[in-house]
Structure 1
């Protein structure tokens, strides 16, 4: 009679000599840690033991045999009594192929059937199945080498050669996890009268689920999308319906339609790999050190505190191709899970695309139009990510800003995110705005070219290699500022009290949904701007670009920098705005070091100047922080062409112009809040001596034109004056051509041509001055305010309010600028169709409003100015 091996007297192993030899060779490279330390306490004495491991492999068998021997457990290499099995172990997954083979097959049923047959006719007999999980190099620390990270444990079943390298590099960090045994007899009794074949399939499925949970607990969730998410996407009801629709529409078989959907899913899906992320982090560490002098994160502790329990969606501004690399690198370095990033399919380049995909990038096409199947597959993929709690990152601007301003948001990704959450609102969504600030951009020159009319260069591998020359330069410091997060649930609660009980149909679109998404777009952009970082280059750009020749005497520049820092400190825009600690002298020295400005020596005092090309590039960094000085610039603009003005007039005109400035710069206040900021700014200007107050504070007056205070006001004003010139160009084009004459597109084109010509004539160093998107945004705001509307023929009509806006422009813009714009602006080709000239319209409007005491003061002020009285 054959003896049954027990814990008290384990049977002798029958492993061959070469197995023992391999174990001896492997021993110096492997250091085991058992979990639990004494697994024998888990087993039932006297009951045969059969071990089951997750993956078949020679090294795993060696490790298991050694772990059992050291723990005093029965050997997995011995005969399993009562069965025909030569070994007391089996694997759920077997690997085929040679040395590098990675094909795998699930074949546990044969082994389980053998164990079941051994119990037939012997009701007193039992076998305890012990799941054993083996992890080699599950989590290399930060000090581990690159190759150690590359070959650490993950979810992919690797080949024999890769497993050997993992043992050599990470074998000293090997964990053998013994789980509680499963009584085969008890499991059979609980299964009832089901057939043995069905029972073995069920038991194998239970074991696979068990190993999946243990692996997720030890090394993190499985984020290998091609093996997990794609299947879920293809099995989702919306995708199945889209496949059926494609079959009918294109008259193809189900198999072809299914493969078409799978191909689209594979084109989209990320293939996240922890070893690749860790490896790329090592490479990027050296890359950033060569490129930047430092990367700073501000307010990250607040973002980390808000994230637990939420589906986090990172929504940074988009200014460079390095944005997503920087953010992912910094998050990884801080110990936070790297988000999955929505990237344009144009970045799916040979050699680069697979790396980005394994770093968490999922690709989307620029347009979904004309491809219903693609739209459904992408929506479902995004829904799967959100449902699984995977952090996501995307840019709601749709593309990189070429001007340095935040672009008008595109709501597509936000809409898909909100609708995916409404389908399955399990985990609340948190949008995390991030401001990214640079001191120099790698793409700077290409941006200027595109704004000047050159076509955007298509991304290619050759273009990437050609662009490596930028690595020879230094790009200063980078700041990543985390703005105030935005929770989705309160927005939904405010829009609809019963949104939780709304229809879960993926195609459902409640009437309040567009309003929620629009509000979300606005708040994200506002919160990005409220987390701005003011670096030395921003401050230099604000000062130097406000002068005609982009040059200032050193003393004047020092005074202007000190004033701007004072404004930002004493009139805080937000508690999340950060600012350079450098003093004015340090800022100038840093600008010279970075090559942005040049010092011209002179006996009467040095002059700091920025060259023409550098001045154009600097406009980008000025635009990064224009919103921070908007209130100060407006007050200063009111005194650009006026010596004195009432406080009430400054506030009244500010309220009129504010909706348009707010739409362009994403300012955070409502109209009354902006008025409050204007009051505080005026008070600061009075304290600083830039303005004098009279008549118990009702009347404001600046010094004469040659006064230092007047000069400082002029510099502050010029940061915003180009916006008002664009507004005047738009209004002038409308009034000059007359109502119901131009379409929206024709007006945009007329404004762009006028601005381009004005830029040429005046040598403006800001190519965004004639950016069509800025004109489009202003026209959109005019439509929202119902000042302008579209008639049934698609032409633009306008209200008399527009003529009042022309009149008010006289307070801000000089006569020379207004006449230049009127002269250049196209319109009024025939005498019959020619409308009344803009200046005449303004005069008539002025005469008809004498009852308005505030306006009368404006007219008197300008009249005095036109007669040479400053």
Structure 2
């Protein structure tokens, strides 16, 4: 049935044109962008469409798209002009539709329009650029052969265009740009002659069409040899070749050949047909592997991208990351980025496919070869200069623990320096959080965390690994975080950076600080876009119990509490939370095989098997940062029945820099304090804590109480971090100042944590991850709590001993004693006495009156050095 817009549509096209349109209609399915382009028009001024390339099929497609959208017909005469059609093309062949068989300059129709307005200031014409792409968007009907005729940068003949329509016509995109008021542009141009103005307008339109085409199908890189030649002919690379030849006593030609091999090893060989083929394959692959792939906040990311060199910086948790990103971007009509990949992935058969999909390869280390970093830097600079979107993982490798790894700023620094050298196009970093419900590499990660060497990538290993494809891996979420512009960071660091960075070899003093700040902001914004799926919530709840088991009612209550916490105290407006209710989450966990139901007459128990528990810790760590404030408040009541609100905030601010460094939290110290206050109020509203003394003192119920049980479950998600901190500071204090290096302290901490894990309940493998100890020691050094003396040994401030004593508020006596016993043997008693120099115990709970409690609280506020812990927990 004809729509209202179609019924009122008036076209004066020739009869044969209308017949051709009816014949073409079954072969073409049009997707308009935007879906309702009529809203773009301004007023009642006549509309003239301009298309990029002349063609009969493009005219038919445009006419139909305008008819379906309720827009004026391109085939009707243009009012107040001598033009018989309201459309013209910039790139023209011998005309079949828009005029007689003769060549015309693209500025000629523009000149006609301009002359039609001269002398009539009340007249105007809306020029609407329309881009038509046949075979851009992937669809289920696409086939292997169709890829060969997909839209690209090559101007094709009529026969090839006809094949493209037959094979890919159902994947046709018609992009309507905002109209340009010709009258307004003429008024702004002033007294420029009409012929010159028409040529200028044609250049502007050509640039516009190239920008839209680059955004939709990718930049015109031609063959990778053009990029390779540009790299080898650049001044920095030629100078490096000369230096290498002189230093090694070889000819320039031989050094050039070495540089050529390097850049050929690095460079991508992007092929649109290969990308289309991969898209066709991956669609079926994802359908067999995953139950769904969801993107959140992508529209915000797409809206922010135009005019920028976009660098995607996602989390790196699986080899599937870059395939998922590229597939989803391509399927959403965005250019597939060039992806930095380790040279270990340049395998036979696989490497060439990845290279044609946009991968460029880099060596794990640039050391020992002065020529390679220059070549690689120049290749990166060429990509940025050409406006090629990029993607790389600043963590340096896949996270084996589920946490964000400390960033490695090498590629970021190269990107910043490339921009400084030629700041023609501003750079935008787009953080992306990728959330899984099950990982293909899960079992190999367990082995690596347990000490097994990382298995080297190989084609045989890849074939062996295909067995994982028999499983289902649930849903995947790609959450786009808040983008980060590079220019404001540079302006803040060095307002005169544009004048001081003209030298391509310049490395300003502020470059490292800007790069480190950028890396930190990227990780923070990734965490601010987390997706909380059902598996994350199950992991937070079940791994908080010693045997990784919960009664069903307790599990449902804990999940409901966690969801309420995340909803009432949102971490960020970009965090997404599963819509499933607690019973549905439990059922989903059983369906996915993560949890097992044990039937019992007194109520079912949900449990996690030991190996599954280690795997599940990965998904708890994905979202650990979201509950950091709640976990800290809850930790304060693990061994204490009562604490003052002020004490919770004071100690929280002391510990915050270390939690922030480990979990990439977004607040400053004051902001964290505000978050703690809100969390305390939430716990009071939920009945988990009771506020007394006008809200200044907080109390939890006895240990057997449901509220205390829920608090304990929240606390245990973060308690291992505090145990690691205590291991480090206790080991350092016990050894004494000027006796141990940072590397030696790392080893002592790692061995202590491994030993503690064997002696106590099993811990997640990241408990003794050396990188986490290294990060904590680094934070101590940044905060000048610890520093290195002239001999490379560690010295420390007296505040470190205070931190050892403060740990009694959080950690149980047995745990503290176990750690102190393991960290050394020679001066064990002295260390115990120093660490356990605690104030006299408070009166027992039964003798406390509200007046005495308030009096002690007031006394504490006047003696900040004392620990407010009214009662050690005796439950």
Q: TM-score w.r.t. structure 2 length?
A: 0.77
Counterpart pick for 1:540 among 535, 538, 541: 538
Counterpart pick for 2:835 among 839, 842, 846: 842
Give the Cα separation in 2 of the matches to 1:503 and 1:409. Answer: 25
For residue 858 of structure 1, give the secondary structure of its aligned residue in structure 2.
coil
In structure 2, the residue matched to 1:423 is 421
Instruction: Tell me the CA shift for residue 506 of structure 1.
Output: 2.1
On the 8 A contact 1:148/1:166 being kept in 2, the answer is no
In structure 2, the residue matched to 1:276 is 274
Give the Cα separation in 2 of the matches to 1:499 and 1:412. Answer: 20
For residue 645 of structure 1, give the secondary structure of its aligned residue in structure 2.
strand
Gap change, CA 1:155 and 1:247, over 3 Å in 2: farther
Give the Cα separation in 2 of the matches to 1:557 and 1:35. Answer: 60
Instruction: Tell me the CA shift for residue 752 of structure 1.
Output: 0.5
Counterpart pick for 1:716 among 714, 717, 726: 714
Gap change, CA 1:435 and 1:219, over 3 Å in 2: closer
In structure 2, the residue matched to 1:33 is 56
Instruction: Tell me the CA shift for residue 823 of structure 1.
Output: 1.4
Higher Rg:
1
For residue 693 of structure 1, give the secondary structure of its aligned residue in structure 2.
strand
Give the Cα separation in 2 of the matches to 1:214 and 1:819. Answer: 66
Give the Cα separation in 1 of the matches to 2:58 and 2:595. Answer: 63
Counterpart pick for 1:266 among 264, 267, 282: 264
On the 8 A contact 1:404/1:621 being kept in 2, the answer is yes
**Aligned ranges 1:382-531 → 2 under 5 Å:** 382-531=380-529
Counterpart pick for 2:355 among 340, 354, 357: 357
Q: 2:772 aligned with 1:774, yes or no? A: yes
How many pairs align? 710
In structure 2, the residue matched to 1:679 is 677
Give the Cα separation in 2 of the matches to 1:661 and 1:524. Answer: 17
In structure 2, the residue matched to 1:575 is 573
1:333-382, CA deviations, whole angstroms, 9 ceiling, x for partnerless residues?
10000110000000000000011000000000001111111100000000
1:194-229, CA deviations, whole angstroms, 9 ceiling, x for partnerless residues?
xxxxxxxxxxxxxxx99x989988976422452221
In structure 2, the residue matched to 1:97 is none
Give the Cα separation in 1 of the matches to 2:543 and 2:372. Answer: 47
Counterpart pick for 1:246 among 241, 244, 247: 244
1:403-434, CA deviations, whole angstroms, 9 ceiling, x for partnerless residues?
00000000100000001000010111100000
On the 8 A contact 1:68/1:74 being kept in 2, the answer is no
Gap change, CA 1:329 and 1:727, over 3 Å in 2: same
Q: TM-score w.r.t. structure 1 length?
A: 0.77
Counterpart pick for 1:552 among 547, 550, 553: 550
Give the Cα separation in 2 of the matches to 1:405 and 1:500. Answer: 37
Instruction: Tell me the CA shift for residue 503 of structure 1.
Output: 2.9
Give the Cα separation in 1 of the matches to 2:817 and 2:829. Answer: 15
Q: 2:363 aligned with 1:370, yes or no? A: no
1:534-569, CA deviations, whole angstroms, 9 ceiling, x for partnerless residues?
000000000000001000000000100000000001
**Aligned ranges 1:112-151 → 2 under 5 Å:** 142=139, 143-151=141-149
Q: 2:854 aligned with 1:861, yes or no? A: no
Give the Cα separation in 1 of the matches to 2:615 and 2:210. Answer: 53
Counterpart pick for 2:809 among 800, 811, 818: 811
On the 8 A contact 1:435/1:480 being kept in 2, the answer is yes
Gap change, CA 1:141 and 1:737, over 3 Å in 2: closer
Gap change, CA 1:344 and 1:141, over 3 Å in 2: closer
On the 8 A contact 1:735/1:835 being kept in 2, the answer is no
On the 8 A contact 2:640/2:870 being kept in 1, the answer is no
Give the Cα separation in 2 of the matches to 1:759 and 1:354. Answer: 45
On the 8 A contact 2:724/2:753 being kept in 1, the answer is yes
In structure 2, the residue matched to 1:294 is 292
Instruction: Tell me the CA shift for residue 840 of structure 1.
Output: 1.5
Give the Cα separation in 2 of the matches to 1:442 and 1:843. Answer: 46
In structure 2, the residue matched to 1:654 is 652
Q: 2:654 aligned with 1:631, yes or no? A: no
Give the Cα separation in 1 of the matches to 2:292 and 2:101. Answer: 55
On the 8 A contact 2:56/2:97 being kept in 1, the answer is no
Gap change, CA 1:335 and 1:34, over 3 Å in 2: closer
Give the Cα separation in 2 of the matches to 1:395 and 1:823. Answer: 41
In structure 2, the residue matched to 1:114 is none
On the 8 A contact 1:537/1:621 being kept in 2, the answer is yes
On the 8 A contact 2:493/2:514 being kept in 1, the answer is yes
Give the Cα separation in 2 of the matches to 1:235 and 1:812. Answer: 62
Give the Cα separation in 1 of the matches to 2:714 and 2:448. Answer: 28
Give the Cα separation in 2 of the matches to 1:213 and 1:406. Answer: 38
Gap change, CA 1:376 and 1:629, over 3 Å in 2: same
In structure 1, the gaps of 5 or more residues are: 1-28, 38-53, 55-63, 76-134, 176-208, 829-833
1:753-792, CA deviations, whole angstroms, 9 ceiling, x for partnerless residues?
1101111112324000000000000000010111111111
Give the Cα separation in 1 of the matches to 2:670 and 2:219. Answer: 49
On the 8 A contact 1:638/1:650 being kept in 2, the answer is yes
Give the Cα separation in 2 of the matches to 1:649 and 1:853. Answer: 11
Give the Cα separation in 2 of the matches to 1:686 and 1:283. Answer: 53
Give the Cα separation in 2 of the matches to 1:147 and 1:598. Answer: 47
Instruction: Tell me the CA shift for residue 737 of structure 1.
Output: 1.3
Instruction: Tell me the CA shift for residue 850 of structure 1.
Output: 9.7
In structure 2, the gaps of 5 or more residues are: 1-26, 28-53, 61-90, 104-131, 173-205, 841-858
Give the Cα separation in 2 of the matches to 1:453 and 1:391. Answer: 38
**Aligned ranges 1:129-208 → 2 under 5 Å:** 142=139, 143-152=141-150, 154=152
For residue 853 of structure 1, give the secondary structure of its aligned residue in structure 2.
coil
